[in-house]
Every structure is written in structure tokens, then in C-alpha cells.
Amino acid sequence: MQNITLKSKYDGRISVEAEIITPDNFSGKDAKEIGEMDLFMGNKTVKLKDIFEVSVEGSSENPEDTEIIIKGNTDRIKRIGEGMTSGKIVIEGDVDMHCGAMMRGGKIIVKGDADSWAGREMSGGELLIEGDAKNYIGGAYRGETYGMTGGKITVKGNVGAYLGEKMKDGEIVVEGDADMISGMEMLGGKIIIKGDAIMPGGEMKGGTVIVMGEVTDRMPTFKMDGMEIIEGIEFNRYTGDLSVRRAKGVLYMKG
Amino acid sequence: MSELLIKNGIVYDPLNDICGEKKDIFVRDGKIVEEVKKPEILDVNGLLVLPGGVEGHAHLSGSKVNAGRLMRPEDGRRGLRRKTAITMPESGYSVINVYGEGYRYARMGYTTMVEAAMPILTAIHTHEELRDIPILDKLSMTLFGFNWFVMDYIRKGEMDKLAAYVAWALKISKGYGIKIVNPSGGENWKWGKNVSSIDEPNISFGVSAREILSSLMEVNEILDLPHPIHVHCNRLGQPGNYDIAIDTMKISSGFETKREREPLHVTHIMFSSYGGEKWKDFESKTDEVTKEVNSNKNASIDLGQLMFGDTTTMTADGALEFALCKLTGSKWSNSDTEMETGGGITPQIYSPSMPINAIQWAIGLESALLVKNPYQVWLTTDHPNGAPFTTYPEVISLLMSKDRRKKEIERVNKVVQKRAILSSLDREYGWNEIATITRASQAKAYQLNDKGHIGVGADADIAVFNINPEEVDPSKDYEEVERAFSATKYTIKGGEIVVRDGEIVKVFPGKTLWTNAEFDGYYELIEDDLKDWFSKYYTVSLSNYGVSDVYLTNPEVIKTNPKIGGRIEVPAE
Ligand SMILES: [Zn+2]
């Protein structure tokens, strides 16, 4: 088992691109080697040790046995855990955009809030956000065909707009409320919103969205086709979004 | 004075009848010379040496290409390459940023490019991007196929005015020659329709593709333009369109030209050699189409080879792009360039398991293998429509190796063995033929006398490949061939080494070539018509129209000898 602690010294406002921070990249390396890795800050290259104090306990060649704990101010640190395949990252504060983007395995826990695009194009593993999260969580890169294709995202707080945009598979659970159009252009997979939602399912073609709270501004382009009991609660079942050809999305709402 | 001696290479230079000779090449001040005194010596013992490559048809610059980039940020993130001390960053796979376009061609030994479709109205945008494409010399083809002035003069039978308009439009757009896309049909697309044959008169002008093609071919000759009329046929990309390609080529048969090149070029033939009535019975008609090419000295083709993978299609043929996006359900963009042209864009994923794509892939290769005279063929993928130009090394290896084709045929949809003829073709291209279809044919077709060869007096544009043509059997070692053509040992542009061991080592802007075919009184002939329609219909004024020299890097004007000037009498006011 290898435990790596990164303590942020950074309080600047220019974002830092930190896709290098993954168990895959860190496993088997000592504090010095990790500190010498490059990060982008704006258009400059900086060393990881310029941004973080690095300490390492134990050693493992296997990313699966590698855990990274990130402490301190990280709200301008982007892309943490991008593309990781295994192991674990725990972020004690807030994170900037693209946390866990293209993640394929392992687990990320964000104890604070996450900015937009967390879990973008994620295909496996688990992303747990204990605070709130912004827009396009589990969504697609701009212009891309698919968003999230696997794995699980849980947000304990509220989420912004376009949750699970173009999502193809996997699962997203939001314990709070969701802003505009969760499941936008969704193709598959499952989104559960325990709180309220606004206009869910816009242009969805497949997959399932369940809204357990109140829904504001329902899309008029869904057709009700039955009732179902989920976890003891009675839901109306809708198919849509019928503004899209051959749409087979399923949307559950109360009433 | 900078001098270079390239020693002991195995040279293939088809235009000078040099076919695999071990030979030294001397360079002074950017030109090939007979001897040098104190040169820098590159000993390339036994390596393949070719003239710099000439890209004859690709979409690299301008409003349509840039709309493709904007539409496809997801393509932009592929092919990222960081900047270096001398190069700018690269991005994109099928819609590449301008810097990447220059570097990638140079790495493959190409030193000249043609942008295949430039609307006059947005020519400034084309040249603004060309200015930023490094290293390469650049030409652009101006679009005329369904331009209102062109159709109006043809309708009225005013050939002198048509010639004057073309000369003026080339000058004002800084274009090199006449490009024609979906002649006559492009106008109908503005009403959501198209034409189904080359003889169908179009809506509102009542002119047919045949009239547009034959009139512009005539004008091309009157103006003594260096390049043939460059034609994207009607019903392109639709099943059963092969007869249109044949009819189009036949227009040129018997046509007399003073220039030493064909009077008509049919571009990306792969998209125009389709049999069947619907996609269901879609099949290759390459045999019929190439029969016409082989019997008609007056027409040349380029392949428009399709390679499997993800790409972006873009053309002035808006109707085609709409049909494609209906097939795929992919995102789509359409534009109408006022009175001049139009365009559309949609991404495509060509899959080897898709019957249509597998047959299309076979058709491009068949065209190259069935045309007997390699000077009538250019290697293209109609970048990015059939595939990005970076797939050329793979296409070359397929043309050179029947084994490789056989292996590929086994991998793609079985339908290819019934509805295409590729598996029955034994021909394998040799080094000299590859040199022809990637360099010499284009140089001849564009009448670029200093390009596409390395005889004394030519531009010192040279590509040295890391492969020994005397030791490698391309038929068996096709992977070696692909590797060698992917990145040169040296690319030399205008006497300067720009690529060494596959890396860009020097960057500078190339030349911009355009054709000036003006003749006495040409502007006065059309002045009133221009002023009338510009004030009535255009969104820009005549004085704000066109490209001034400040947009061009190292401009070089090709002055022609129009056979019209003196005899025109301009009526007095
Ligand atoms: Zn083209």
C-alpha cells in the first residue's frame, strides 16, 4: 500500500491543469519524483512541488494499492484523476473542472464541491461528490457523440444544468436538486434525482431518468404510458423526448 | 549563397524520365543546378529520393474548413502536438489547424498544396488561413459551378463577358483556376432540389450542367488558364451516378487545347463511380468509368480514396451533405454563399463492416489500378472527405501490394467480393508510378513547370525517404513502405531543409500562386453588370470585395495569354 499526500500551497486564481495526478502516474514513485512532475499553469509549465507539498508513505508498484489524499485549497486545480484506471483519490476541499474526466476505474471522493464536467466521458469506476456539483456532470466533451459510458457518479448535494448530457451508460445519483435539463440528449444509462428537477429529459433518446421530487416546467414532448412503483413510491412513466426521432427514453415523475 | 548536395540517392523523377538511378542532386539558392562549389552534403546513400509532393485537391483553408473546425471540437482534441521552439501547436485529425496542415504535409515530403474550393466572397478568409499554413507553396481553386454571373452569361450566350468575369474573379479572389461543383444542380439546392442529369436545365436560369461545363471549358481555353476545369460531378455520392461521370468526361473528348494538360479534370472519382439504383444494390462501376478515362486523353481524375475511420465531410455541394447527414443522423451544417456558391459539412465514420463503405474503399483503389496512364491519376483522399491526407502512406502501400489488398479484403465486409472488382486486380504500382500520381501528374495538370520534378531549373523541393527501393520489395514489405512515406528522412523546400528525421527543423512561409488572365478592356465589359447586381443583391459593396496583396505570402502571379483581348471593342459611353 502506498499513501501519497499532496498539500496544496496554491491560492492563485489561474487554473492549474493537474491531469497528472492519478494513482497510475504516482504508484511506485517517491515524493521527489512526484514533485518533479510537470503541471500546466495558464501557459506556463510548473513543477508539482511548486503547487503541492508531497509526502509518501509506503510503496506500491500497483496503482490499485495507491491512495492519493489532496489537502488544502484545490478550487483552481483542474482534471484531477483524469483517465485513472484504479486506486483511490480523496480530495478534502473543492475541486475545479473536469475532476475524474475519462476515468476508467478506481474511486474519487470529493469532500467539498466539484466544478463543471466532473466525470466527463467517464467509462468506469466511482466518483463521489459530497458537496454540490456544477454543470455537465457525466457529460460529453464539446461536440463529442457520447458522455459518460460507464461507472457511477454520486452527488450528495445539488447539481447544475445538463447533468449526464449524452450519457450512454452507467449511473448517476443526485441526492439534492438538479437544475435545467438533466439527461439532455441522453442515450442510455440511468439518472436518479432524489430532489427536484427542471425540464428533465430534454432531447433524450434512451436511458432512464427518475425524479423523486418536484418537477418544474415539464417538457411537453413526453407521452405518459403507465404507472410504476419504485421504492414504494408511485411514479408516472413517460416516453420521449418525442421531438427526437425514434426516441425511447424513459422518464419517471410523480403525478 | 546556400548550396546543397544530395549524394547517392535512388532518384525517381518521372517528368525527366529518371527511374531509380543512383544520382547526385545539386542545389543552389532554392533551385536545382548542374553543379555546386562548397555545398552542405547530405549523403543519403541508397535512400529513395523524389521531387517534393504536390497535393492536387484538398480542403485545407477557408470558411468551410473553419466551420468544420468549429463544429468539431472533439476532432480538434485528437492529434494534439505541443509547440516547440520553432513550431506552433498542432491539433485535429480530420479538421486540422493551419499549422498542423503545413507540418504534416512537410513531414510526408509534400511541398505544394491546392485548396480545392474557394468561394470568391469568402476568398479573404481562405487567404488569411493560407497565410498561416507554413512551408508549403499554395494555390486555390475558385468556385464557379453555380455562380449567378456565370449562369446568366451562359443563358444569354455572352461568352466574352463570361471570359471577362472569370478573369476578373480569379484576379479578385487570387485564384488559380476554375473549380466547378455540382454545376447547375447547386442552384437547385437553394430550392431544396437538385439535377438528375447533365442535360437538365436548372431552376430560374434554365442552364444545364453540360452548358456550364462546356462554356467554362471554352473560357478556360480562351483565357489560357494553366489548369483544366476542375469538376466535382453532379449527383456525387449517390448510387447510380457513374454515367454522369462518364458523360462529364465525354464533354472534353475531341476538345483542342494548346496547353500540355488535359482540358478537364474530374475530381474524387471514388464518389462518382457508383452503380445500383439505391444503397441496397449499390456497386462499383469503376470498370465503366475507367474505360472512359483510358479512351479519353482529355480527362484526368483524382482518387478521393476513402479510408476507414472517423472524418469530416465538407463540400460546396450542399445537397450531398444533407443526404449524408440523413443517412447517419450526425450533426450537419449548411451554408448559402449568396450569389456564388454554397456548402455543407457533416462528420462521417467509415466502417469496414458497412457494405457501402467497404465498396467505396474498393472503388478508389480500383480507379488507380484500372487507369493505364498514371499521368491521368492523382492520389487524393479529397481531404478530409474520404479520409485525412495523413492516410496517404497507407494508400500508397495498398497500391503497391496485392498482398496487402488481399489482407484488407478479408477484413472488410464480404460484399466487396461481389459488388466490387478489387479482388480481381493484380496490378501493383511501382516507385515511378507512385512518384507520378503524387507529384508529376499534379505538376503537369497545374502546369507548374518548376514543381513535381528535380531537373535543372526546377524549385529545389525534394523528399528523401528512409527506405532503399533496391532492397525493399513493396509487394511484400508493405508495412515498411507505409512507415517510410509517413515521415521523411529529409524534406527540402526551396533548397532549405525543413524536415529532418521526421521532425520539423525549419519553418518559413511558402509562396502563393495565382493566375492573372486579364485582357484589354475585360473589366469594362462587365462593369455595369457587376455594379448592378452588387448594389441589388450582395451584402458587401464591390469596393469591399476581393483579396488584396497584403493577404498573400510571397505572391507569384502566373500571367496567361488570353486569345481574346485585342479583338474586343469596348463601346463608348
Ligand atoms: Zn473536394
Three-state SS sequence of B204-265: CCCCCHHHHHHHHHHHHHHCCCCCCEEEECCCCCCCCCHHHHHHHHHCCCCCCCCCCCCCEE
**Residue B394 phi, psi (nearest 5):** -70, -40
pLDDT at B569: 45
AA identity, residue B157 = G
* Rounded Cα distance, A179 and A158, in Å: 8
* Rounded Cα distance, B231 and A182, in Å: 48
Q: Which residue of B has its CA nearest to A146?
A: B74
Task: Using CB atoms within 10 Å of the CB of residue B191, give its burial: 0 to 12 exposed, 13 to 18 middle, 19+ buried.
Answer: exposed
CA of B315 to the centre of ligand 1 (A): 6
Neighbours of A129 (CB within 10 A): 28
Q: C-alpha grid cell for residue A219?
A: 417538457
* Rounded Cα distance, B216 and B230, in Å: 10
Percent of chain B with pLDDT over 70: 98
Q: Which residues of B are less than 8 Å from A205 in CB distance? A: none
Question: Which band of pLDDT confidence, cut at 50, 70 and 90, is reported for residue B565?
Answer: low
Chain A residues with a Cβ under 8 Å from any Cβ in chain B? 141-145, 245
Residue B131 in this model has a pLDDT that exceeds 90: yes
- Judge contact between B506 and B496, C-beta under 8 A: yes
CA of B370 to the centre of ligand 1 (A): 22
Nearest to A144 among B71, B74, B329 (CB): B74
Q: Which residue of B has its CA nearest to A140?
A: B74
CA of B478 to the centre of ligand 1 (A): 28
Q: Give exposure, B417-452, as e/b (b: 16+ Cβ within 10 Å).
A: bebbbbeebeebbbbbbbbbbbbbbbbbbbbbbbbb
Q: Which residues of B are less than 8 Å from A43 in CB distance? A: none
Closest to B522 measured CA to CA, from B39, B171, B80, B35 = B171
Q: Which residue of A has its CA nearest to B83?
A: A43
Dihedral sign for Cα A13, A14, A18, A19, please: positive
Q: Which residues of A are less than 8 Å from B73 in CB distance? A: 141-143
Largest CA distance in chain A: 61
Percent of chain A with pLDDT over 70: 100
Q: Which residues of A are less than 8 Å from B68 in CB distance? A: none
* Rounded Cα distance, B261 and B279, in Å: 36
CA of B378 to the centre of ligand 1 (A): 13
Residue B570 in this model has a pLDDT that exceeds 50: no
Interface test with A, best of B69, B70, B74 (most A CBs within 10 A): B74
Task: Provide the shortest C-alpha distance from residue A140 to chain B (in Å).
Answer: 9
CA of B106 to the centre of ligand 1 (A): 21
- Judge contact between B277 and B240, C-beta under 8 A: yes
Q: Which residues of A are less than 8 Å from B71 in CB distance? A: 143
Mean per-residue pLDDT of chain B: 96
Task: Provide the shortest C-alpha distance from residue A196 to chain B (in Å).
Answer: 32
As a whole number, mean pLDDT of residues B378-383 equals: 98
Residue B226 CA: distances (Å) to CA of A245, B177, B229: 50, 7, 10
Task: Provide the shortest C-alpha distance from residue A87 to chain B (in Å).
Answer: 27
pLDDT in tens, A77-132: 999 999 999 999 999 999 999 999 999 999 999 999 999 999 999 999 999 999 99
pLDDT at B329: 87
CB contact under 8 A, B75 and A142: no
Task: Provide the shortest C-alpha distance from residue A60 to chain B (in Å).
Answer: 32
pLDDT in tens, B383-442: 999 999 999 999 999 999 999 999 999 999 999 999 999 999 999 999 999 999 999 999
Q: Which residue of B has its CA nearest to A245?
A: B329
- Judge contact between A181 and A200, C-beta under 8 A: yes
Question: Which band of pLDDT confidence, cut at 50, 70 and 90, is reported for residue A255?
Answer: confident
Percent of chain B with pLDDT over 90: 96
Nearest to B77 among A141, A145, A245 (CB): A141
Q: Which residues of A are less than 8 Å from B310 in CB distance? A: none
CB contact under 8 A, A141 and B71: no
Task: Provide the shortest C-alpha distance from residue B507 to chain A (in Å).
Answer: 22
CB contact under 8 A, A141 and B75: no
- Judge contact between B43 and B81, C-beta under 8 A: no
pLDDT at A138: 98
Q: C-alpha grid cell for residue B404?
A: 496487402
Residues 6+ positions from B97 with CB-CB distance below 8 Å: B69, B76, B89, B90, B91
**Residue B369 phi, psi (nearest 5):** -80, -25
Q: Which residue of B has its CA nearest to A121?
A: B74
Residues 6+ positions from B353 with CB-CB distance below 8 Å: B412, B413
CA of B116 to the centre of ligand 1 (A): 6
* Rounded Cα distance, B489 and B192, in Å: 50
The domain locations on chain A are 2-200
Q: Which residues of A are less than 8 Å from B77 in CB distance? A: 141
β B274-275/B512-516 pair status: unpaired
Task: Provide the shortest C-alpha distance from residue B71 to chain A (in Å).
Answer: 7
Q: pTM of the full predicted structure?
A: 0.94
- Judge contact between A91 and A26, C-beta under 8 A: no
Neighbours of B407 (CB within 10 A): 12
Residue B15 in this model has a pLDDT that exceeds 80: yes
Residue B543 in this model has a pLDDT that exceeds 80: yes
Residue B100 CA: distances (Å) to CA of B58, B136, B504, B512: 14, 12, 11, 18
Q: Which residues of A are less than 8 Å from B75 in CB distance? A: 143
Q: Give exposure, B266-287, as e/b (b: 16+ Cβ within 10 Å).
A: bbbbbbbbbbbeeeeebbbbbe
pLDDT at A43: 87
As a whole number, mean pLDDT of residues B363-376 equals: 98
Helix (H) or strand (E) holding B48: strand B48-51
pLDDT in tens, B274-314: 999 999 999 999 999 999 999 999 999 999 999 999 999 99
Residue B207 in this model has a pLDDT that exceeds 90: yes
Q: Which residues of B are less than 8 Å from A141 in CB distance? A: 73-74, 77
pLDDT at A21: 98
* Rounded Cα distance, A50 and A39, in Å: 9
Interface test with B, best of A38, A79, A98, A142 (most B CBs within 10 A): A142
- Angle subtended by helix axes B159-173 and B123-132, to nearest 10: 40
- Bridge partners, B555 (sequence order): B512
CA of B383 to the centre of ligand 1 (A): 7
Interface test with B, best of A102, A144, A245, A246 (most B CBs within 10 A): A144
**Residue B177 phi, psi (nearest 5):** -165, -175
pLDDT at B564: 84
As a whole number, mean pLDDT of residues A16-38 equals: 97
Closest to B117 measured CA to CA, from B248, B349, B313, B367 = B313
Q: C-alpha grid cell for residue B273?
A: 463511380
Residues 6+ positions from A44 with CB-CB distance below 8 Å: none
Q: Which residue of A has its CA nearest to B68?
A: A143
CB contact under 8 A, A142 and B71: no
Q: Does B501 touch chain A (CB under 8 A)?
A: no
Interface subset of B 73-92, CB within 8 angstroms of A: 73-75, 77
CA of B385 to the centre of ligand 1 (A): 7
Q: Which residue of A has its CA nearest to B331?
A: A143
* Rounded Cα distance, B565 and B167, in Å: 11
Distance of CA B55 to the CA centre of its chain: 6
Task: Provide the shortest C-alpha distance from residue B73 to chain A (in Å).
Answer: 6
* Rounded Cα distance, B231 and B215, in Å: 13
Task: Provide the shortest C-alpha distance from residue B74 to chain A (in Å).
Answer: 5
Interface test with B, best of A19, A145, A205, A246 (most B CBs within 10 A): A145
pLDDT in tens, A146-167: 999 999 999 999 999 999 999 9
pLDDT at B566: 54
* Rounded Cα distance, B367 and B302, in Å: 9
Any idea how long chain B is?
Answer: 573
Residues 6+ positions from A203 with CB-CB distance below 8 Å: A184, A185, A241, A243, A244
Question: Which band of pLDDT confidence, cut at 50, 70 and 90, is reported for residue B508?
Answer: very high
- A-B CB pairs within 8 A amount to 14
Neighbours of B532 (CB within 10 A): 10
Q: Which residues of B are less than 8 Å from A145 in CB distance? A: 74
Mean per-residue pLDDT of chain A: 97
CA of B22 to the centre of ligand 1 (A): 37
* Rounded Cα distance, B445 and B458, in Å: 16
* Rounded Cα distance, A32 and A29, in Å: 8
CB contact under 8 A, A141 and B72: no
Interface test with B, best of A136, A141, A245 (most B CBs within 10 A): A141
Using only C-alpha atoms, chain A has a radius of gyration, in whole angstroms, of: 19
Q: Which residues of A are less than 8 Å from B72 in CB distance? A: 143
A249: left (phi over 0), alpha (psi -120 to 50) or beta: beta
As a whole number, mean pLDDT of residues B474-485 equals: 98
- Judge contact between A149 and A123, C-beta under 8 A: yes
CA of B442 to the centre of ligand 1 (A): 15
